[in-house]
Amino acid sequence: MDPLDPPVDPEIQPGPPEAQPANTIESISQPGPVSVDKDPWETRILLRAFMGSQGLRAGWSVLAFVLLFGIFAGCVGFVFFHFHLVSNKKGDFAPSDAFFSELISFLAMVGAGAIVALIERRRGNVLAYNLNGPRGGFHFLTGAVSGFAALSVLIGVLALGGWLHFGNVALSGVDIFKYAALWAGAFLLVAFVEEGSDPYAGNQLLVGAGRDRPYLRGVAVEGKG
């Protein structure tokens, strides 16, 4: 080293890094809870009143079905009466009147059931109401045959006991089969409407109760069967 050179300050070595407080590191790695605004109490009450764990409550489904059934029946009935498909005369009990009168209720039931199925997120499929089970055609045919046989036995017993009397034959030829088909269709619609709409309310309430109460699910299934 030349003595004429200016003096050089000694190099200062950096010291060890300062340890940061542990609580500071934890506060950075673990962010605090995010504040979530709760729904107003009015909204929570309405949601609890209308919605359950499985969607719309069964009681509201029944009420919607009843109201929609009345609306559809009024609209279809107005059209049928306008086109004279149903007679306005009292005491007129022709098979065509009986058929179209029951068809009003049947169409109203199907329309109301389809809309309620949409509300309940069943894609508007009315078969979802206990109608999509296995061997449906077989069960329908066996039920129709057994019902016809039971009514035939009842008519026979009434005739043998003198409580029912047959009059003279007023039809012949093709008319016999024509009127038989009309009456069969009319009473088939009666069966569809009675078995489809009357048990709807009780069935829906049982199913709705079974959603939150497992011990009622068996009752709901038996009621549907």
Is residue 152 a part of any domain in this protein?
A: no
More confident residue, 109 or 93: 109
Is residue 41 a part of any domain in this protein?
A: no
Segments forming the whole domain that contains residue 173: 53-133+168-224
Is residue 212 a part of any domain in this protein?
A: yes
pLDDT at 76: 95
More confident residue, 111 or 135: 111
Give me the chain's average pLDDT, please: 74
Cβ(109)–Cβ(129) under 8 Å? Answer: no
| Dihedral Cα 155, 159, 160, 162, nearest 10 deg | 140
Q: For 56-91, how does the pLDDT look when each residue is reduced to its tens digit (9 = 90+)?
A: 777 788 888 889 999 999 999 999 988 888 877 766
Q: Give the mean model confidence (pLDDT) for residues 125-147.
A: 81
Query: DSSP state, 132?
Result: -
Is residue 187 a part of any domain in this protein?
A: yes
Is residue 197 a part of any domain in this protein?
A: yes
Is residue 156 a part of any domain in this protein?
A: no
More confident residue, 125 or 36: 125
Three-state secondary-structure class, residue 56:
strand
Q: For 191-214, how does the pLDDT look when each residue is reduced to its tens digit (9 = 90+)?
A: 888 877 764 544 554 454 444 333
Q: Quick one: CA dihedral 49, 53, 55, 61, positive or negative? A: negative
Q: What is the pTM of this model?
A: 0.63
pLDDT at 143: 86
pLDDT at 17: 53
**CA 69 to each of CA 109, 125, 197: distance values in angstroms, whole numbers, following the listed order:** 6, 16, 9
Is residue 198 a part of any domain in this protein?
A: yes
Is residue 20 a part of any domain in this protein?
A: no
pLDDT at 222 over 80: no
Which among 78, 81, 83, 109 has a CA at the least distance from the CA of 191?
A: 109
The domain total for the chain is: 1
